[in-house]
Amino acid sequence: MIEKKTNISAMTVLILGLCTIALPLYLTVVIAFKQPSEMTNSISGILSLPKTWSLNNFREAMEITDFWHSLRNSLLITGLSVVLSIVVHSLMGYALGRNKAKSKFYSFVYLFIVSGMFVPFAILMMPLAKQTAELGLANWFGVIILYVVFYMPMNVLLYSGYLVNIPMALEEAAKVDGASTWRTYWKIIFPIMRPMHATVAVLTALAVWNDVMTPLVIMAGSGENTLPLAQLNFQSQFGTNYNLAFASYLLSLIPILIFYVICQKQILNGVVNGAVK
Amino acid sequence: MKNERKRTFLLITIPILALFICFNTIPLIRGVIYSFTNFKGFGSYDWVGLRNYADLFTDARVGKSYWFTFKLAVVTTIVVNVLSLLLALALNSHIRAKSFFRGAYFLPNILGSLVVAYIFNYFFTYILPAVADMIGIEALRTSILSNPGTAWIGVMVVCAWQAIAMNTIIYISGLQTVPEDVYEAGGLDGATGWKQFKYLTFPLIIPFFSINMVLCIKNFLMVFDQIMALTKGGPAQSTESISYLIYNNGMSGGQFGFQSANAVVFFIVIVIVSVAQMKFSGKKEEQL
């Protein structure tokens, strides 16, 4: 194989494109560190680095938005939603995937759940706001339950699709050894589905972490915030102090950026698997 | 033994199905029921039959929100797919620092769209006019978000900025399924450059094109966060998306019943669009 030359025109396109991605992020960082007095309306003033790299803006923004509290809520909701999704959706994917070919009941349940993908949140939003209030679930716990329900169609589709590749012989061998179906699932099937757990975890985590609408509608009265919700609720408190606002934006982006830097490969794989399947 | 297996499957399925029905099917049915009432969100209400639906089709604000949402969805889908196909081709060619570029190009997609839209809000309101002022572009001297004619372009840019990342990654995985010898064989027949793309590459990645179309249209039709952070539906209700209108007027505007009818119609529209897309793309796929 001959080493081909670098494609110059492709490189040019990519570097230009990269600028449109980097510029807003660069501006976010720079503005977050500046003082209001440093904000001028000239190009050099906009692009220049801050005079001092002080963390005061961040400290103040943290106080205004109650950052640690919101972060804790976001981590709690995302973490529990991911764990519950993996457990509940893989079980459901297993039960439906193994039976839908030969049983009318299971194939109906499968279609019923998967077609939930077409239901936009807009139609569920108002009844759910009422229903969660009636059930005393207008809080973070209710939000987690809703996520487990909302992502069920997609994840069940993914799990039962993956199950096709796992031969029945494995389960039958375990059965001969006297293991129950439940035990066989946890000992054999669940570990084998690990690649799909990673995909589901990534998709669910990204969707839950960045979601605004569900907590906005469900948790509005609880006085609690997730990170995105805090941005929305405290937006007016920054007034015209954009430096504080940007410090707050940057703070809310940092956790997911760290996650991306650490697990970039898993995230890219997960997203592609989820979309292509 | 057989019974044990059957029982286990039932014990798994029934509770999870009940959970799904409780928080998906029942609210859906309740939404449909509310759509036949004049419920304000609190207090008592009366049945009004199909009046909400009749009003829906004559309500200028609802019509405007459908027009805006579809315009946004179609234009953004085209812009996103053209650009991300171009980027995917570039990212899949012989370049340096390939994995760095791929990682960097996916970055916008993982960021929360609300915060991204807040950042762009500032960009459109202050930086762009300042830059336009300096280089003398009259049209951009005021914020594009404050003009009812151009505000939707701002929303489009923010939606595209994030969606391109996703679509590019999917196109790349499509391009990687095309074996090198297809190009070599095509090259012998004179298929290079644009011809190669039109007759070889594109037909082979049509399944991925379909995925992107479905993803794009569905996401953009449901646009909400960006509206919330950029325009709040303004100016002059020119950027009110369907989801935003349902949220705004249904949750706090006393139109619970009426917006439920709107949501039911929106649901039907989403189903029709999705089914039509699946039918259409199912026919066009080409096998290697």
Please answer yes or no on whether B211 and A276 come within 8 Å at the CB atom.
yes
| Percent of chain B scoring above 90 in pLDDT | 45
Q: What is the pLDDT of residue A35?
A: 84
Reduce the secondary structure of chain B to three states and give it as a string: CHHHHHHHHHHHHHHHHHHHHHHHHHHHHHHHHHCCECCCCCCCCCECCCHHHHHHCCCHHHHHHHHHHHHHHHHHHHHHHHHHHHHHHHHHCCCCCHHHHHHHHHHHHHCCHHHHHHHHHHHHHHHHHHHHHHHCCHHHCCCHHHCCCCHHHHHHHHHHHHHHHHHHHHHHHHHCCCCHHHHHHHHHCCCCHHHHHHHHHHHHCHHHHHHHHHHHHHHHHCCCHHHHHHCCCCCCCCCCCHHHHHHHHHHCCCCHHHHHHHHHHHHHHHHHHHHHHHHHHHHHCCCC
Instruction: Give the C-alpha distances (Å, rounded to integers) separating B8 from A160, A177, A273, B2.
Output: 17, 18, 29, 10
**pLDDT (tens digit, 9 = 90+) per residue, A87-106?**
999 999 999 999 998 899 99
Distance from CA of A22 to the nearest CA of B (A): 9
Please tell me the least confidently modeled range out of A69-73, A214-218, A256-260, B179-183. Answer: B179-183
Q: What is the pLDDT of residue B283?
A: 60
When CB atoms are compared, the residue of B4, B27, B114 closest to A124 is B27
Q: What is the pLDDT of residue A75?
A: 94
**pLDDT (tens digit, 9 = 90+) per residue, B216-258?**
898 999 999 999 999 988 788 899 999 999 999 988 888 889 9
Which residues on B lie below 8 Å from A123 (Cβ)? Answer: 28, 31, 260, 263-264, 266-267
**CA–CA distance, A265 with A275 (Å, rounded to integer):** 16
**pLDDT (tens digit, 9 = 90+) per residue, B165-196?**
999 999 998 888 888 887 778 877 777 778 78
DSSP letter assigned to residue A34: S
When CB atoms are compared, the residue of A112, A127, A227 closest to B30 is A127
Q: What is the pLDDT of residue A135?
A: 92
**pLDDT (tens digit, 9 = 90+) per residue, B149-161?**
889 999 999 999 9
Q: What is the pLDDT of residue A78?
A: 95
**pLDDT (tens digit, 9 = 90+) per residue, B109-123?**
999 999 999 999 988
For residue B131, is pLDDT > 90?
Answer: no
For residue A143, is pLDDT > 80?
Answer: yes
For residue A1, is pLDDT > 60?
Answer: no
Omega of the bond leading into A127 within 30 degrees of 0 (cis): no
Please answer yes or no on whether A213 and B5 come within 8 Å at the CB atom.
no
**CA–CA distance, B66 with B44 (Å, rounded to integer):** 30
Distance from CA of B148 to the nearest CA of A (A): 23
Q: What is the pLDDT of residue B282?
A: 64
pLDDT (average), residues A53-57: 84
When CB atoms are compared, the residue of B101, B130, B267 closest to A41 is B130
Spatial CA neighbour of B167 closest among B218, B127, B119? B218
> Does residue B15 belong to the interface with chain A, where contact is any CB pair within 8 Å?
no
Chain A, window 134-193: residues with a beta carbon less than 8 angstroms from a chain B beta carbon: 145-146, 148-150, 152, 175, 180-182
Q: What is the pLDDT of residue A45?
A: 76
Spatial CA neighbour of A207 closest among A199, A219, A195, A218? A199
| Percent of chain B scoring above 70 in pLDDT | 97
Please tell me the least confidently modeled range out of A80-89, B71-80, B96-105. Answer: B96-105
pLDDT (average), residues B38-64: 88
Q: Which two tokens stand for residue A187?
A: 């000992």
Q: What is the pLDDT of residue B70?
A: 95
- Averaged confidence pLDDT in chain B: 88
For residue A5, is pLDDT > 60?
Answer: yes
**CA–CA distance, A157 with B46 (Å, rounded to integer):** 40
When CB atoms are compared, the residue of A121, A181, A267 closest to B5 is A181
Q: What is the pLDDT of residue B4?
A: 85
**CA–CA distance, B266 with B259 (Å, rounded to integer):** 10
Q: What is the pLDDT of residue A4?
A: 60
If pLDDT is split at 50, 70 and 90, which confidence band does B205 have? Answer: confident
Please answer yes or no on whether A6 and B95 come within 8 Å at the CB atom.
yes
**pLDDT (tens digit, 9 = 90+) per residue, A196-212?**
999 999 999 999 999 99
For residue B15, is pLDDT > 70?
Answer: yes
**pLDDT (tens digit, 9 = 90+) per residue, A208-229?**
999 999 999 998 877 888 999 8
Q: What is the pLDDT of residue A158?
A: 92
Instruction: Give the C-alpha distances (Å, rounded to integers) separating B193 from A63, A68, B79.
Output: 57, 54, 22
> Does residue B35 belong to the interface with chain A, where contact is any CB pair within 8 Å?
no
Output A6 or A128, whichever has higher pLDDT.
Answer: A128
Q: Which domains does chain A have, with CATH numbers?
A: 8-54 (no CATH), 58-276 (1.10.3720.10)
Which residues on A lie below 8 Å from B86 (Cβ)? Answer: 13
Q: What is the pLDDT of residue B116?
A: 93
**CA–CA distance, A83 with A75 (Å, rounded to integer):** 12
Which residues on A lie below 8 Å from B42 (Cβ)? Answer: none
**CA–CA distance, B157 with B138 (Å, rounded to integer):** 20
For residue A277, is pLDDT > 80?
Answer: no
> Does residue A11 belong to the interface with chain B, where contact is any CB pair within 8 Å?
yes
For residue B288, is pLDDT > 50?
Answer: no
What does the longest C-alpha to C-alpha distance in chain A come to? 77
Q: What is the pLDDT of residue A85?
A: 97
**pLDDT (tens digit, 9 = 90+) per residue, A163-178?**
988 888 888 888 888 8
pTM: 0.90
**CA–CA distance, B37 with B28 (Å, rounded to integer):** 15
Q: Please return the burial class of B150, using the count of CB atoms within 10 Å of its CB with bins 0-12, 13-18 and 19+.
A: middle
> Does residue B215 belong to the interface with chain A, where contact is any CB pair within 8 Å?
yes
- Averaged confidence pLDDT in chain A: 88
| Percent of chain A scoring above 90 in pLDDT | 45
Please answer yes or no on whether B27 and A275 come within 8 Å at the CB atom.
no
pLDDT (average), residues A232-257: 86
Which residues on B lie below 8 Å from A270 (Cβ)? Answer: none
> Does residue B133 belong to the interface with chain A, where contact is any CB pair within 8 Å?
yes
Q: Is the dihedral of CA A25, A29, A30, A34 positive or negative?
A: positive
**CA–CA distance, A203 with A101 (Å, rounded to integer):** 27
ipTM surpasses cut 0.95: no
For residue A123, is pLDDT > 50?
Answer: yes
Q: Is the dihedral of CA B237, B240, B246, B252 positive or negative?
A: negative
Quote the CATH superfamily of domain B62-284: MetI-like (1.10.3720.10)
Spatial CA neighbour of B121 closest among B285, B261, B234, B255? B234
Q: Where are the domains of chain B?
A: 62-284
DSSP letter assigned to residue A237: G
